[in-house]
Structure 1
Amino acid sequence: MATATSPTRLFTHERDADLARDVLGTLEGPEGYLSVGRGDTAQPLPRDVGVLLQQVLEAIASGATVTVTATPSEITTSTAAAMLGVSRPTLMKMIARGDVAAHKVGTHTRLRTEDVLAARSARRRRERAAFAALLEAEGDEA
């Protein structure tokens, strides 16, 4: 049985991996569309929840440790900076430039988690595009 070391971390044992592989083998329907229930009373899950559960099952099936965290809808600048992998002063410059939306709560700057995740995705897309351009330029030189 898996051992919970905190409410959000699960170390997988071989029996857990076997059970997860069995469940993954019985999933039907398009990816991310799962249902739960007993007998004839299956209820569909929201697609994103289905995708998440499949990812958790795949991680357990491979013997990985699974960590689940919840992030509030509104976060502090320190949390946002950590999520983006930048310093807090750099984040504040990004906010000033309009790269990331933010708002004030009294004297404190707050950000929506959704906006921070969107900024992180956009940054990753730009990095991938720059890397692809670099690889292409190196290929042209050869």
Structure 2
Amino acid sequence: MGARSLSNDAATYLPNAEDRRQLIDIKEALSQITQETADTAFDDMSNDKDFPVATLKVPGSPARPLTPELADALLQVADQLARGRAVFVAPYDTVLTTQDAADFLGVSRPTLVKMLENGAIPFKRIGRHRRVLLADLQQYMSNRHRENMNMFDDLAADMDPRATLDNPLVS
């Protein structure tokens, strides 16, 4: 279900039809874990001698405790895979080539290079090659989203709904 991409530490997981049914069950089980831990005082429960700890058991390795944060992350991954969507997992400090960064943003490599050279996204040169941090790409995407939302808010504030004759909201 996983395919390597970008670096040795990253993987893209693509669900197949057989896995989707199991993922839906996992998603439901994980949602109960996160809801139960949110509904109860974790500190009070952990003081109990027989405190039950949810664990993650993978064949061939010891059981590991499943923290609420990890359960939430797994819930989000299971949810997306159950919907048939690919999930990309990579460390936050992953260094990308310009082609990988362009693919991540959904733009062409020449467009990305122009963005890098204009200073829109920080990068480092290694020899004659440019390298981009995944964290910087995510920051750029977040900033662009915020700018777009502000632009839409400004447009909406300038618009007078009564100025349009075909507006169904105005009677």
| Aligned-partner residue type, residue 24 of structure 2 | A
Q: Percent identity?
A: 25
Larger Rg: 2
CA contact (8 A) 1:24 1:58 kept: no
The answer as to 2:27 corresponding to 1:20 is yes
Cα displacement (A) at 1:76? 0.8
* RMSD, matched Cα: 3.2
Q: How many residues align?
A: 130
Q: Tell me which of 55, 58, 72 is aligned to 1:37.
A: 55
TM-score if structure 2 supplies the norm length? Answer: 0.60
Q: Could you tell me how far apart the structure 2 residues matched to 1:80 and 1:53 are?
A: 25
Q: Deviations over 1:39-88 (max 9, x none)?
A: xx9735483x443212134346xx41242323461001111122223332
Name which structure has the greater RCO, CA cutoff 8 Å, separation 6+.
2
Q: Could you tell me how far apart the structure 1 residues matched to 2:26 and 2:68 are?
A: 23
SS at the partner of 2:122?
coil
Q: Tell me which of 109, 133, 142 is aligned to 2:154.
A: 133
- From the superposition, tell whether residues 116 and 37 of structure 1 become closer, same or farther in structure 2 (CA, over 3 Å): same
Structure 2: segments with no counterpart, 5+ residues: 4-12, 43-52, 57-62, 164-171
Q: Runs of 4+ in structure 1 displaced over 4 angstroms?
A: none
Cα displacement (A) at 1:126? 0.8
Alignment of structure 1 residues 1-142 onto 2, 5 Å: 4=1, 6-7=2-3, 8-11=13-16, 12-13=20-21, 16-27=23-34, 28-30=36-38, 36-37=54-55, 43=65, 45=67, 47=69, 49-59=70-80, 63-71=82-90, 73-139=94-160, 142=163
Q: Could you tell me how far apart the structure 2 residues matched to 1:89 and 1:16 are?
A: 38
Q: Deviations over 1:10-46 (max 9, x none)?
A: 2312x64245324422432349x9x6428xx973548
Q: Could you tell me how far apart the structure 2 residues matched to 1:23 and 1:44 are?
A: 10
Deviates most, 94-103 or 19-28 = 19-28
